[in-house]
Amino acid sequence: MSTEGSDLPVVEESMVVPCRHLRNKGMYIYTDGSGGESHDGYDNTIYWCLQTMKSFGPDDDQVDGHECRQPGRSCYEAL
């Protein structure tokens, strides 16, 4: 993601460390890094937050593979 006129480097989402409280079922299964919940053509990953154990974080916003990689989010804690 880039911002026009910004001097900030472009950072791929996959390079951003997710929040350490982010969970999905694949994290418990594919512990060897062999796979995940996302597949070619579709992604039905269901996320939850360890802080709330729900699909909403402590800030009452949704838990998500994208949203929980945002260091600006008030409840974000780097992995």
Interface with other proteins (CB under 8 A): 23, 25-26, 28-32, 34-35, 37, 39, 41-48, 50, 52-56, 60-62, 64
- Rounded CA-CA distance 11/7 in Å is 12
Min dist CB 1 to other proteins, Å, is 16
Q: Helix, strand, or coil here: 67?
A: helix
Closer residue to other proteins (CB): 16 or 77:
77
- Closer residue to other proteins in complex, CB, 17/46: 46
CA 39: distance to chain centroid?
16
The burial of 73, by beta-carbon neighbours within 10 Å (0-12 exposed, 13-18 middle, 19 or more buried), is given as: middle
Closest separation in Å from C-beta 79 to other proteins: 13
Q: Closer to other proteins by CB, 6 or 31: give it.
A: 31
